[in-house]
Structure 1
């Protein structure tokens, strides 16, 4: 049973109208237009600099933040790819997760502020993410390299890992996917029933965001919807999902297909929890973050 705090949060999200952002294609287009007029900041919070060394470089047009523990050597490195339906920037919960990975796992965390849709489409974005992952793996550095993504960022992370492995055979130590969005067609027959209980996401807006990200590619192209890509030889997967998430069908299907391809999969599905719960200030979110920290520390020992 979900904790009292998680149940209260879901009620609050519904009352606050969080789903309105995805209630229609028009709502998403309006959000994109507003972002074009007044781009949101992706800068890390200043207080992160109290506990971490933060620097910024550019990979092509992408600002990429490099966040490392202050006063100590990192034991592993993480490529963290943020969510936001491909149309939203890094926000406070993403940076809170980065802080956790730096301070508790003592990891160096590389955070790309990738170009958002509709300017950033899958045909352009996935190759850059794959190159960034390749560079981290090739550099060695401390410990191993763990790839982490949440929501749309999990989709981009998985697509990048698939592309890199198919191209060179390289792979990170582990891939961690949080409430992953892996099929932008939103065509699973169970999603309509789950949508009614989802306090955050709605199908019409997600389909439009997926269309913008697909650009000239078909929505079911593996670069756009990596659920349709190859899982052969991928790194071990850890997947977190809540049942009050219309995207939970993607997680279940991912687990099925990856295991069928011989991939080691650790699956955490929490009953009654909303989209992105491991990023939220909930007891279940804390437990998920604890597990992610353990996985990064384990990677450092490989």
Structure 2
């Protein structure tokens, strides 16, 4: 089963017409819109309001969630969240702590339900989706504080570290990696594994050349601009700011998923190489021509549904590995 953890996976398939259509739609809408909106703090606030008012993707419509799925609101100190259960008969002694993406300024647990209810189903456990504080009012440190507090809260409620999985996408993938590094540095017990979907890992002044024109959704220039906003006054090479520079010694197994044409692909792969060099088993999956965080499109894109089966394979392998790891 270890081969299912420490492995590179490049799924081969004829790209579906749904994925091709989504790529075209994203290239004609999201990419130019972000180029216009991501220019100053005022525009960030406008984007936040637009997402809050009308940013409902197809998977959020009531009929798109399975009948047995449930959502329960949760208050978590400085922030809130929601418990997502995708089915009945889950293992309530285990949990996924999910950190949504959105560039640290948009989206919420609600926008990411197409991911969280499916994660609940394939992992066989409830998902706690965290509504952590975001910019421009709050800082990266505030977001990290919320994530660490939520994790500590799960431990206080009796969840064992080996029963917890961290997961996140995009900026939430960044926060997932920063949380792991912070937990390790503080000597706190580690979760059993972490899953990062299209993680944003480098907020330094790196020049993103790979896939600069191929990415159908993200503008490299706007990603660079956002990075400068969130790192003002910080050391951008600090691993908690740019996890690509982290030391991953003693970090639990990772699963990192990207699309082959993503502008963030290269920095995600750099984390894979760095973590493996530090002795961490990593399942790295690169999906042909899939857009940024394509798992959120699972209601309409077949490949996005398939990736959850791969997540199940990873989680099953981690759970099968645990007795051997404990014996070692």
Query: Does the alignment reach a TM-score above 0.5?
Result: yes
* Equivalent residue, structure 1, for 2:52: 40
| Of 244, 253, 275, the match for 2:270 | 253
Q: Distance in 2 between matches of 1:219 and 1:46?
A: 41
CA shift at 1:137, angstroms? 4.5
Choose 131-140 or 45-54, whichever is displaced more.
Answer: 45-54
| Of 261, 283, 302, the match for 1:283 | 302
Choose 176-185 or 44-53, whichever is displaced more.
Answer: 44-53
| Of 248, 272, 285, the match for 1:268 | 285
In structure 2, relative to structure 1, the CA distance for the partners of 1:204 and 1:22 (3 Å cut) is farther
Q: Distance in 2 between matches of 1:215 and 1:123?
A: 12
8 A Cα contact 2:48 2:106, kept in partner? no
CA shift at 1:79, angstroms? 0.5
8 A Cα contact 1:81 1:157, kept in partner? yes
CA shift at 1:193, angstroms? 4.1
Q: Distance in 2 between matches of 1:294 and 1:93?
A: 25
Per-residue deviation, residues 114-142 of structure 1 (Å, max 9, x unmatched): 11111221122212212322332462269
The alignment's TM-score, normalised by the length of structure 1, stands at 0.87
Q: Distance in 1 between matches of 2:43 and 2:286?
A: 31
| Of 219, 225, 234, the match for 1:217 | 234
| Of 11, 20, 23, the match for 2:35 | 23
* Equivalent residue, structure 2, for 1:185: 204
In structure 2, relative to structure 1, the CA distance for the partners of 1:34 and 1:261 (3 Å cut) is same
8 A Cα contact 1:150 1:178, kept in partner? yes
Choose 24-33 or 1-10, whichever is displaced more.
Answer: 24-33
Q: Which runs of 5+ in 2 are unaligned?
A: 1-12, 323-328
**Paired residue total:** 299
Q: Does 1:11 align with 2:29?
A: no
Question: Which SS does the other structure have where 1:231 is aligned?
Answer: coil
* Equivalent residue, structure 1, for 2:215: 198
Q: Which runs of 5+ in 1 are unaligned?
A: none
* Equivalent residue, structure 2, for 1:154: 173
* Equivalent residue, structure 1, for 2:3: none
Per-residue deviation, residues 139-188 of structure 1 (Å, max 9, x unmatched): 22697111111001000111011101110242111111100001123514
Choose 289-298 or 239-248, whichever is displaced more.
Answer: 289-298
Q: Distance in 2 between matches of 1:263 and 1:131?
A: 25
In structure 2, relative to structure 1, the CA distance for the partners of 1:260 and 1:110 (3 Å cut) is same
